[in-house]
Amino acid sequence: MRIIPAIDIIDGKCVRLTQGDYTQKKIYNENPVDVAKEFEDAGLRYLHLIDLDGAKAGSVINWKVVEAISSNTGMIIDFGGGIKNDSEVERLFNLGVEQVNIGSVAVRNPEKIVEWIKKFGAEKIVLSADTKNENIAISGWQEDSAILITDFLKDFIQRGIEYVTCTDIETDGMLTGPNIELYKKILLSFPQLNLIASGGVSCIEDLHELRQIGVDGVIVGKAIYEGRIKLEQLGMMSQ
């Protein structure tokens, strides 16, 4: 199981939200590059980098942060937040991003995802399935849809998707534990899927439980920043 620490960006700064609420923003570090270097120094290889400004605006905003982290660390970056067209995807890959997370476009223009899978490869495209009450949410979680998570995933797996990041919005930033039952349900329905769990991780025990059910990766955010999980612990789990 891959351990993937998260950096969320607003105004070029490292922040965390609670349940995706932009009014519940807490700044943890003015310099995201320093945070990424701390992760790397602890032995962590992967990084989940989200442009929250971009997610809200519908277009990537924090290009300088992406470039700075990519050029100053050797971390394997997956990036999300506002990606909407080919030129943005290509620019991200040219900057050294390994995978792109696609959410809103997948709902509004699913054929575009098929194009990107064919053009860049299935290993480069991660479907971002953000859920609230098992329905998909988009636009930086500002909009709900009536699309069930299982229907959403079935459709895109048939279209060639192999990697999915699933964030349970109700647990995100709450430090109350991940929605294990949701991830079990997804893996039971789609055992071939590379599922990355996101939202609610509060302690090392949560990570052990997620590993046991067979997720491909787990994103850890607020638990790191609030000192619930030490980077040394994550580094040891990553080896």
Active site residues: 8, 130
DSSP 161: -
Residue 158, helix vs strand vs coil: helix
Backbone phi, psi, residue 149, to 5°:
-55, -40
Give the Cα separation of 230 and 224 in Å (integer): 6
Give the Cα separation of 120 and 91 in Å (integer): 12
Instruction: Name the burial class of residue 91, with classes exposed (0-12), middle (13-18) and buried (19+) by CB atoms within 10 angstroms of its CB.
Output: middle
Cross-strand bridge partners of residue 6:
48
DSSP 94: H
Token code pair at residue 73: 């660390």
